[in-house]
Amino acid sequence: MTMPRSCDTFVVLPPLTKNNIVIFGKNSDRPQNEVQEVILSKDRALDSKLKCTYITIEESPDPINSVILSKPAWMWGAEMGANDKNVAIGNEAVWTNHNEGDGDARQKRLIGMDLVRLGLERGDSAEGALDVITSLLEKYGQGGPCSESDDSHFYHNSFLIADPKEAWVLETSGKYWAAERITSGYRNISNGLTIRTKIDKHSEKLQEKAQAMGLWDGKGVFDFTNAFSSGGDEIRQRAGEKLLESGTASGAFDVKDMFRILRDKDSSICRDCDDTFPTLGSQVSSLSSEGISVHWFTATPDPSVSYFKPFVFTPNAAISEYTESPNEPKREHKLYKLHAEHVVRANNDKISKVLQEMEDGCIAEIADFIQKYTKKEKTLGELDDLMKKCVETEVKLYG
């Protein structure tokens, strides 16, 4: 089994952020040449059953949320996304020492990306999404190949779940789990367990079961990572922490600071398209309970040469068909194809500069809109086609 070398999720909370918002960010690093699409799902028809990537589960008995997702085109689930209740979620692959029975990740169950989407569709807050994910995890378990072309690519999962009030880190091993609540400061996760002794929620009788499995001797304070971890990328985890420490030093961290972290090549947080596990999609969300939450997606690989395009949930929100993958073997959507041709393979500095200027313009326009919106000078309907227009402008740039 080949382990990915990169995947990172971050959150920064007040008092370290500008305007006291919560800022979420994630790079999705996946097998080379896998296409990641961005889709908007709203008013999905509900049946009694729901087909996820591998298994069919009970559909939600309640109405579900609208969601915007960045997802590998071949699967039902998503690497990351947000919902219209101001919740954002990303997941990471982790490996643990519980790999038999319910911990056997080779078995086709719910994959971590399914749980991301289900948490967003059914959760109205960060803690609500956490409860959705853990209840489904305990009922159905997790497992199954997480690559369309490599059935040895399987793992357990960790999650970072954020809303405008708080964030939760959820880490799992089979059906066992522990969760840590974050209410201020910053936090990041990479490809390894990080929850130690601060456990704010956990699966039933977690300590007793860990002791029965011989993973804990029952002495001292229970440490989830010590009990269940079989190793992780501690170097990249620490690199992410240092970037967060530096970026938040001013106490005015904003979306541009998160963009910079996701674009950092020296730390391997951002990976080139020729890497074994390149960065195939990126998301940054600014989450506000009183103002406007804005979700930024690249919909193209390598954020250092991509343009973050904004999306806002409005009653009539729409996105471009150019970020949705066709049902064909390569699954390359139009934006992906054009970006690969004109930016990635061409290494065109001129176009990259124009993309950066477009992004800077969007940031300024969004900031101006939010300021005027709070003064009742703007209506949210003006943002219905925000991301759609940005994508189609980028497509026109490529000719």
- Active-site residues, by number, are 7
How buried is residue 218: exposed, middle or buried, by Cβ count under 10 Å (0-12/13-18/19+)?
Answer: exposed
Q: Are 46 and 38 a contacting pair, CB within 8 Å?
A: no
Question: Quick one: tokens of 180?
Answer: 């840590």
Separation between Cα atoms, residue 146 and residue 150, nearest integer Å: 8
* Cα pseudo-dihedral 397, 362, 82, 15, rounded to 10: 150
Inter-CA distances, 327 with 34, 68, 323, Å: 14, 19, 13
Residue 344: DSSP 8-state: I
Separation between Cα atoms, residue 341 and residue 331, nearest integer Å: 15
DSSP 236-278: HHHHHHHHHHHHTTTS-B-HHHHHHHHT-TTTTSS--TTSSS-
